[in-house]
Amino acid sequence: MEMLLRARDLTKRYGTFVALNNVSFDVTKGEVVAVVGPNGAGKTTLVNTLAGLHVPDAGDVLFEGRSVVTLPPAARARRGLARSFQLVSVYPSFTVSEMVAVGAFSRRGRTFNMLRPASWFEPERSEIASVVEAFGLSHRLDTLCSALSQGEKKLADIASAMTLRPRLILLDEPTSGIASSDKHRIMERLLAATESLGVESLVLVEHDMELIARYATRVIGLRAGEIVADLPPSQFFGDPDVIESIVGKVPGHAHG
């Protein structure tokens, strides 16, 4: 399979605290990689380092075979490595259409400005419509982000990142705050939308073990900034010692 992302010996320190310690792994085309671990394990630091929000103290990040470790997030996104940024919480007064437009304008190197005439948005209009439709939000185009349900907010955030047309997308807790009864629906919508829009791989931080068991193709377990497991879900969930060492006991966890 084609290699998309390669992390090599990533180390990140905050003073004397080591958030990542020589973390290495690859992501190939077609994978859904779940990153799990207890609070403080380094999960979000890892995603932010891959995305370019943090510069590692050591190590390298390669995307499509080329180092991107010195590139800022926008440049990595233009290469095809994007991250969802939870923009809904930053721009609650934006409509869904405006929210998704931010990403589309960024990819084209244009500055989003709501004071522009309607004709200014024309090049992005069909692109916004197709992305919003893929995420099942067409009926919410003119709805303020602040009025969306938590699940819809998550989808709108990811939809905005999707207008960057990434090959690989990084997601930090895409189902956090969503009612358990809605999590599978949101995850299935997310996976279907990303596939239809050309995303080839996902790396996501997720705490819900049932979702990981069902939807991930691989599980990377972090503890104290180090990888302590990198396994298919069947092997990860088939080893109680591995699970307990990383996330504690998970009563009634799924094996499918």
Q: Which residue has the higher pLDDT, 171 or 241?
A: 171
- The Cα 159–Cα 179 span in angstroms is 20
Q: How many domains does the chain have?
A: 2
Note whether residue 185 is domain-resident: no
Instruction: Assess whether 24 and 97 both reside in one domain.
Output: no
Domain assignment present for 72: yes
Are β-strands 32-36 and 201-205 bridged in parallel, bridged antiparallel, or unpaired? parallel
Res 59: pLDDT: 98
pLDDT at 204 over 70: yes
Average pLDDT, integer, range 124-148: 89
Q: Are residues 66 and 172 in the same domain?
A: yes
Residues 210 and 98 in one domain: no
Q: Which of 109, 143, 165 is the last residue of a domain?
A: 165
- Render pLDDT for 30-68 as a digit per residue (tens, 0 to 9): 999 999 999 899 999 999 999 999 999 999 999 999 999
Q: Which residues pair with 27 in a beta bridge?
A: 5
Apex 167 CA angle, 161 and 170, nearest 5:
50
How far, CA to CA in Å, does 206 sit from each of 89, 118, 134, 157, 182?
19, 39, 22, 16, 15
Q: Would you say 85 and 115 are in contact if contact means Cβ atoms under 8 Å apart?
A: no
Per-residue pLDDT tens over the stretch 59-110: 999 999 999 999 999 889 889 999 987 677 778 888 898 888 876 766 555 4
Q: Are residues 234 and 138 in the same domain?
A: no
Confidence grade of residue 129 (pLDDT, cut at 50, 70, 90): confident
Q: pTM of the entire structure?
A: 0.88
* CA–CA gap between residue 13 and residue 36 (Å, rounded): 20
Are residues 34 and 4 part of one domain? yes
Domain housing 22 = 1-80+168-176+201-256
Looking at the domain assignment, is residue 60 inside a domain? yes
Q: Give the domain CATH number at 60.
A: 3.40.50.300
Mean pLDDT across the chain: 87
The tally of CA atoms less than 13 A away on the side-chain side of residue 138 is: 10
Interacting residues of 179 by C-beta distance below 8 A, sequence separation 6+? 150, 151
Lowest mean pLDDT among 93-102, 106-115, 123-132: 106-115
Average pLDDT of 112-120?
Answer: 46
Give the DSSP H or E segment for 14.
strand 3-14
Q: Would you give the DSSP letter of residue 89? A: G
Query: Do 106 and 76 sit in the same domain of this protein?
Result: no
Domain boundary residue among 140, 165, 190? Answer: 165
Strand runs labelled E in 161-251 = 168-172, 201-205, 218-223, 226-231
Give the pLDDT band of residue 123 (cuts 50, 70, 90): low
What is the model's pLDDT at position 121?
55
pLDDT band at 242 (very low <50, low <70, confident <90, very high): confident
